[in-house]
Amino acid sequence: MSLNSIFQYFVPKDKKFFPLFEQAGANLIEMAKALQESVYTTDLTKRAALNKKIEDLEHKGDDITHQIHLELGKNFITPFDREDIHSLASSLDDVADFIQGASNRMELYKLETPSQAMKEIADLILEATDHVAKALNELRDLKNIRNITDSCVRINSVENKADYIFDRAVSELFEYEKDAITLIKTKEVLSAMEDATDKCEDVANVLESILVKNA
């Protein structure tokens, strides 16, 4: 092995990890946009097509996560702690899983008319993933700590709003919805959507941990 090859082995592979995290963030935005579009339509055929798109994007996210784990195994030195890279990749994957979960439930339950609360939380999911992507794009230069911190604060705020909308919607369901099947279907979809915002908050928590360790 040449001296140059040895040197390259020990150089942090910033060119590997950061683009993968940025791809994961962009992929989440695309998933959130498709979910939002799905919630705002009553056309079941269109919703089925959007569900398939979300499924394909979720598989793309799985591939990105797998690639990050492969890079962890191949590289001796990483831009920041290995466990944080693993946690960040896993938390991003969780966001994708719950966005797909919400979409799948709408499709499987043939939900004809999504509720206002679903529309509001779908809007918040898109807002949260946008902040996630912005924070990930700042990871290349950890000197811009304030930008990442601002995104994390906004993600936490979005999650709090989603919690409030979810709790209010479920309360109204139990008070006014007389059909048990409709109640269960609606609550299941709302729950998956609210969980997606929770997972965005998990991403923010990992990012904040990275900032503390690298300040």
- Model confidence over 106-136: pLDDT tens digits? 999 998 889 999 999 999 999 999 999 999 9
Angle, to 10 degrees, between the axis of helix 82-108 and the axis of helix 180-214? 160
Domains annotated on the chain, with CATH: 13-214 (1.20.58.220)
Q: Residue 132: how many CB atoms within 10 A of its CB? A: 30
Contact 204, 155 (CB under 8 A): yes
Q: Is the pLDDT of residue 183 over 50?
A: yes
In 3D space, the residue among 59, 116, 69 whose CA is nearest the CA of residue 90 turns out to be: 69
Is 75 or 90 the better-scoring residue by pLDDT? 90
Average pLDDT over residues 49-71: 96
pLDDT band, very low/low/confident/very high, at 13 (cuts 50, 70, 90): very low
In 3D space, the residue among 146, 104, 113, 129 whose CA is nearest the CA of residue 197 turns out to be: 129
d(Cα 51, Cα 41) in Å, to the nearest integer?
12
DSSP structural state of residue 110: T
- Interval 15-51: pLDDT, tens: 688 999 999 999 999 999 999 999 999 999 999 999 9
Which pLDDT belongs to residue 9? 44
